[in-house]
Chains A and B, each alone.
Chain A
Amino acid sequence: MLRSGVYADSVKLMQVSRDIGARDGVSAVLVAMATPLNLELAAGMGLAPDEDASPEQLLIAIRADDAEVLAAAESAVDAALAARERSTGTAAAVPQRTIGAGLDDLPPDTPALAIISVPGPYAVAEAADAIAAGRSVLVFSDGVPVEHEVALKHAAHAAGVLVMGPDCGTAIVSGVALGFANVVRPGPVGLVAASGTGAQQISCLLDMAGVGVSHVLGVGGRDLSEAVGGLATLDALAALDADPATERVLLVSKPPAPSVAAAVAAAADELTVPVRSAVLSPETPDLTAAVEALLTDMGMDVPTWPSRPGPAESAVPGATLKGLYSGGTLADETMLLAAPALGDIRSNTPLKPELALGDDLFAAGHVVIDFGDDALTVGRAHPMIDPTLRLEAIAAVAAGNEPAVLLLDVVLGYGADPDPAAALEPALTAAREAAEFPLPVVVALIGTEGDPQGWSRQADALEAAGAAVFASNAAATRYALDLLGASK
């Protein structure tokens, strides 16, 4: 049949044809303007109109099984042609899949950075996006190949931006805490940190002494290695030198490669801003001492660092140190401080390769375990979030027949367990009850009162579980050595 005075565009008509053709009992449909081409199509389908057609007319050709189906199909055509589409002028939401797409939408003159915590092998493409966009980037991901790190840091240097990481867990930029970081006051001290928990220890002690930080720029644990050569450390130092808010700089790191340490020291000497080292070594094993020296530089009094003495008890003679850490740098500091008094300390991250623990974390003798080491975080969250492995280790120490002093760190702040004492308290209480020998517990509680968990609230709970609590890891370690009767 032909209709006059009806027009619909060809796409609409093809849709109508398709919909009507899908009805039961309808075997062929052509709803189209009666152009010569369409009339030919209709003829090919055996549906040519009986009358002469002109292109302005609408051709409705339907083959149906019976008259009833035909009539229904006809009215369906009318209804479809009359139907109004719901029109909206906005796009369905399109997710941004890459850092590049996300940064594209930011105004160019706002300070901004990218944070990447995707699986390590894929982090490099996201980080490269940020560098290409002229933005600094914090790479939390671990498992990034070192050659990727070097290439990224060279590219970042050329682009005038900073790569924090990989495996960088801690940074504070203009008061914004990124990753695992504590709530500390703003102030004049800038930190360059190849160590996350080291930076947390230092920024928390500074806060307790009434001194704030301008920025904490993490550079990743490998930055001061021979392979990476301190690329990000040098760029971060230069940036803090140029930053008006930064009056002094503290450089914190696990023991670095000696050649890199020398190069960084030489570069630091060239800067206007005074740079003090809190780089751990057998000669300088104490982060708290570095903070105290900085306070003295600034003409400030060194406060008495907060602590809770715990119950008066001592270990059985011959007891061993069992250090169960979530922070790698804190574990290093403990080993460096304790080794002169205790001798060999075995570890999964040992000071000397021959002291490496094998598969058995519960070896006899003095042991310090870093539960945050990559090998122990495969397939599980960092121990600052997931305490399971460490709680098992506490129970194992209690169940062993070796008298011991238990030394733990508990790290507070953003990103960490919202109430770490809640899990530790019953575990410690149970361990102390289960142990055949007295089991003194010493905790280095790294945090501030401003942290979401609150230093005092956590200290109260840990003290109630029978632990001695210290804001300084060095102080906690020395107390543990006292209990072992090994202090110098």
Chain B
Amino acid sequence: MTLGGLLTGPPAVVAAGVDVFSDALRTQGAEVHDVDWRPPGFGSAEDIAALALDPRRASANRAAVERILAAGSQLVDVRPASEVIGLRDRMLLHSGPPLTWETASGPMRGALIAACLFEEWATDVEDAERILAAGEITLDPCHHHRTVGPMAGVTSPSMWMWCLKDPVNGGQAFCNLNEGLGKVLRMGAFNDEVITRLRWMRDVLGPILSKAVRGSIDAGNDPIDVKAILAQMLQMGDEGHNRNRAGSLMALRELSPSIVAVDAPSSDIAEVLRFIGGNEHFYLNLGMPTAKLAMDAARGVPGSSLVTVMARNGTEFGIQTAGTGDRWFTGPAQTPVGLYLGDYGPDDANPDIGDSAIMETYGVGGFSMAAAPAIVRFVGGTVPDALATTERMYQLTLAENPAMAIPIMGFRGSPTGIDVLKVARTGWLPQINTGMAGRIAGTGQVGAGLVQPPQECFEKALVALAEAARTA
């Protein structure tokens, strides 16, 4: 129809700017919606215009979004990191953008120390600090290896990895096994309890999960559909980042028959089931590679302003976009605001850390806060706050993911695909739900709460995307 049907009847008007015109329209009885326009939160007018006018943008973003929405996630194997991602001796992965021992924060250092002790590359904490400081251990971001890791994300060669596959786009993604809460490596703790648990995970949990997952597939069963669990979680009060209760139980339900069928001492089987059942975040390490699969599918789409990675290493927050490949755009990590365990307080918390913001990048976690009103209370908020957060995130994103329906939003799909241009124009930053690690190495978890990326990441990404648009 000509001009989209504009001339077929009195038009409704959506107005941005001075209200004189809207007032005149109202006196005529016209339907007028004023948007609450503000100058962009950041970015030069030239850069915003360059992106807004990039003829590639609309189709590139559509292509990126389609790949994300189409992506599936199947649990196909559990194998040691040395085998699946070729993690070699004396090499450790960590969360977030690249960093060095010198720039690593307390919990990151604690986790690296724990990994050196666990791998027996060091005899004690001082020895571990020495070899790390001497550069004897190669450090590399998880994200550079199709891998994600919660909190410190430190992954060592003999850790067992969930191996996930996207049957639609063909991608693979990996994540280590969740250790539970309290004193754990990923929160920067490295005492005997931590190392003992990691050894048990290496010697008992990993092999049993591996045999269970392979055994089930070998018996002709479909691989576990991890994305389907995430979709169900949103119907059950989880948002998939800070709250994984329903998801962890559903994962246990899916895995239990195969675990019980593994030929292993019944005491080990019982311990594995008890461990999984006692860990409310067990699913997180399955959800993260599920999100990673989808976001990796959107990589490398020239002209797309969609964010493919948000990740933090405890020192810096980094993002990547579909239109700028593997380039990191970083800024200083912020300290979450939230509630503290025991008598820990704000002074004890480390700045934001972990690859788990991949959940928000995918549209769940803080973006689907409305699905998990319990989470908003971490900052003393209310249920309306949770709904408002998700409403706000819709204005930052390019699509609604129909697979991730949020009941209280009238089953609207989760807000998916952060658009750097929309972040700049609204001046609103993505909302992330997160755990908090103690800032002193060895402390462990001190709380959980809400955090936002530093605006700087998005400022830098906008400049780079605009530059790419001009030279395209």
* Residues of chain A at the chain B interface (Cβ within 8 Å): 9, 11-12, 14-15, 17-18, 21, 28-30, 37, 40-42, 44-45, 85-103, 105-106, 109-119, 121-122, 124-126, 128, 130, 132, 134-136, 140-141, 145, 148, 151-152, 155, 160-162, 173-179, 214-215, 235, 238-240, 242-243, 245, 385, 414-415, 452
Contact = CB atoms under 8 A, between A and B. Distances in A.
A113 B6 contact: yes
B35 A98 contact: yes
B17 interface: yes
Contact of B3 (A101, A119, A161): A161
Contact of B377 (A15, A92, A214, A243): A15
B300 interface: no
A103 B30 contact: no
Interface string B275-308: 0000000000000000000000000000000000
Contacts of A140: 17-18, 21
19 contacts: A11-B374, A17-B339, A18-B340, A30-B342, A88-B382, A101-B35, A110-B11, A111-B6, A115-B16, A124-B49, A136-B4, A148-B53, A160-B2, A174-B8, A176-B28, A177-B28, A239-B7, A240-B7, A243-B7
A114 B33 CA distance: 9
Nearest to B32: A115
Contact of B374 (A9, A100, A132, A239): A9
A103 B15 CA distance: 10
A9 B375 CA distance: 11
B133 interface: no
B278 to A, nearest CB: 9
- The listed residue with most B CB atoms (<10 A of its CB), out of A14, A40, A243, is A14
A15 B339 contact: yes
Nearest to A129: B52
Contacts of B36: 95-97
Nearest to B376: A11
B182 interface: yes
B422 A98 contact: yes
A414 B421 CA distance: 35
Contacts of B395: 94, 96-98, 101
Given A90-B387, A99-B16, A415 B3 contact: no
Contact of A136 (B3, B339, B391, B427): B3
Contacts of A88: 382-384
Given A116-B17, A385-B20, A174 B11 contact: yes
A89 B387 CA distance: 8
B196 to A, nearest CB: 15
B16 A116 contact: yes
Nearest to A415: B24
Contacts of A119: 39
B246 to A, nearest CB: 14
Contacts of B377: 11-12, 15
Contacts of B375: 11
Contacts of A100: 422
Given A99-B14, A102-B14, A179-B21, A14 B53 contact: no
A235 B377 CA distance: 54
Contact of B426 (A15, A98, A161, A385): A98
B14 A103 contact: yes
A376 B177 CA distance: 68
B254 to A, nearest CB: 25
Given A18-B339, A87-B383, A91-B384, A109 B5 contact: yes
Given A30-B343, A125-B51, A414-B24, 18 more contacts: A11-B339, A85-B382, A94-B391, A95-B35, A96-B35, A98-B422, A115-B21, A122-B39, A124-B49, A125-B40, A125-B49, A126-B16, A135-B6, A155-B53, A174-B9, A174-B11, A176-B10, A176-B25
Interface class of chain B by DSSP: helix
Interface string B343-386: 10000000000000000000000000010001101101011110
Contacts of A41: 341-342
B12 A110 contact: yes
B270 to A, nearest CB: 18
Given A98-B395, A155-B53, A160 B14 contact: no
Given A98-B395, A136-B3, A176-B28, A141 B17 contact: yes
Nearest to B390: A91
A110 B13 CA distance: 10
Contacts of B55: 151, 155
Contacts of B25: 176-178
Contact of A176 (B13, B17, B339, B343): B13
Contacts of B46: 121
B411 interface: no
Given A96-B395, A116-B17, A125-B48, A102 B35 contact: yes
B181 interface: yes
A132 B426 contact: no
Contacts of A29: 343
Contacts of A173: 6-7, 10-11
A42 B342 contact: yes
Given A15-B339, A91-B388, A179-B21, A112 B40 contact: no
- The listed residue with most A CB atoms (<10 A of its CB), out of B3, B7, B377, is B3
- The listed residue with most A CB atoms (<10 A of its CB), out of B20, B38, B390, is B20
A238 B52 contact: no
B40 to A, nearest CB: 7
Contacts of A94: 388, 391-392, 395
A300 B45 CA distance: 51
B388 A125 contact: no
Given A90-B384, A92-B388, A134 B182 contact: no
A97 B13 contact: no
B14 A114 contact: yes
Nearest to A175: B10
A12 B339 CA distance: 10
A105 B343 contact: no
Contact of B387 (A40, A91, A141, A176): A91
A28 B342 CA distance: 8
B425 interface: yes
B17 to A, nearest CB: 3
A41 B395 CA distance: 41
Given A9-B374, A97-B427, A101-B35, A215 B7 contact: yes
